[in-house]
Amino acid sequence: MKRKALILTLCLSLVVGLFTGCGTKPTSGDGGKVIKIGVFEPITGENGGGGFQEVLGMRYANKVYPTVEINGDTYEIQLVEVDNKSDKTEAVSAAQSLISSGVKVVLGSYGSGVSIAAGDFFADAKIPAIGASCTNPQVTLGNDFYFRVCFLDPFQGTVMANYAFQENAKTAAVITQLGDDYSSGLGSYFVTAFKELAGENAIVSEEQFQTNQTDFKAILTNVKAANPDVIFAPSSIATAPLIIKQARELGITAPIMAGDTWENSTIIENAGEYAEGIVLSTFFDDADPATEEAKSFVTGFKQYLKENNQSEIIPAVSALGYDAYLVALEAIKQAASTDSEAIRNALVNVKIDGVTGSISFDENGDANKDMAFIKTVKNGAFEFLKTVTVAK
């Protein structure tokens, strides 16, 4: 009884925003067959904005593909959603809640740190997890049960270093968050790649800040004194507007760049005119859908966003969330089973044409991808600049 009470308490605590209980659907009441897919995402905390966008992509995929055929039987796919609260300790509790609920495969999470924290628990339970946008190499490294549909930070850091160098930047400053796997990892990969391109002394300032820090004037003063040609500041959606505004208020005019987390309209809203000209790398551009699935997704998801009172701008992480669901669906079909280990074994050979392109996995469970989209902010909106391909 204590365990049931704990699970019930966890479920009730997740009623946030558009959440309704522990999942988007109740268990089938007509005696039909159900297979549960876990949604392991931050809806609150520092990464709550991006996590919710990822969830929307998964929910929409569940709306488009609500069932799966297994050995001639139709199974309703039920999403079981938990909030890992952008926190590594909470992530473990959320993962254990999903395991206890009987999910057969897990989707998520936005935020590499929480994905890494939960990874061993999913592996020990022999439940496969499919990350959407968790880009740190440690998510899948050494974990046979974690896969992902996004490109990785070594690739993304190299992409942004190449872009900066191609735009004639000879020096750079890097600003990262202490203790954040995504920020520190991506910053480190950018430093390595930029030094290889521009020389060992090309990084003129490396600054770090604490989680929940709001005043960046001290580190930005150091950056200004170093006078870099470009600033690379991978950080959360919550932190980005503060860094951007305070940098410009101090008179720093160098271009400010970051990674995929900055493709979020709230950054533009909160940074205002100061957001003009920022540059970021991302996974998807809805103006140029590459597959038939992508074309259908762009039209349908915009309508879905409108129906749910959301901005009709499609975030790349929503597309990745949708693709993670498609990969899970295909693995279940290929396994022809509801057994989690069978689904994991099928994932190894899955290949689909998703919204973000063709998806298959290497020996680490990482998606085979070699291209990123570069965007900027112009006239208060994200605008596509170019694609950058880096040979692996």
Same domain, 16 and 107: yes
Q: Is 117 part of any domain?
A: yes
Provide the domain count of the chain: 2
Q: Do residues 272 and 379 share a domain?
A: yes
pLDDT at 289: 85
Decide if 204 is inside a domain: yes
Residue 181 included in any domain: yes
Q: In this structure, are 194 and 275 located in the same domain?
A: yes
Specify the CATH number for the domain of residue 381. 3.40.50.2300
Q: Which residue has the tokens 């308490």?
A: 9
On whether residue 367 sits in a domain, the answer given is: no
Question: Does residue 368 belong to any structural domain of this protein?
Answer: no
Q: What is the pLDDT of residue 152?
A: 93
The DSSP call for residue 76 is: E
**Running along the chain, 392 residues long, what does each successive block of 10 average in pLDDT?**
39 39 43 93 95 97 98 97 97 98 98 97 98 96 97 94 96 96 96 98 98 96 98 96 98 97 93 97 88 94 96 93 98 98 98 93 94 93 87 60
Provide CB contacts within 8 A for 26, sequence distance 6+.
Answer: none
Check residue 52 and give its pLDDT.
96
The residue whose two tokens read 């009884």 is: 1
229 & 306 share domain:
no
Same domain? 206 vs 276:
yes
Q: Are 159 and 390 in contact (CB under 8 A)?
A: yes
| 66 lies in the same domain as 89 | yes
Same domain, 181 and 126: no
Per the DSSP assignment, residues forming a β-bridge with 270 are none
Residue 8 neighbours by CB distance under 10 Å: 11
197 shares its domain with 209: yes
Q: Please check whether residues 157 and 143 belong to one and the same domain.
A: no
Contact 219, 160 (CB under 8 A): no
The reply to whether 302 falls in a domain is: yes
pLDDT at 18: 39
Tell me whether residue 366 is in a domain.
no
- 171 and 72 in one domain? no
Domain span holding position 209 = 153-282+373-389
Beta bridge partners of 209: 177
245 and 383 in a common domain? yes
207 and 107 within one domain? no
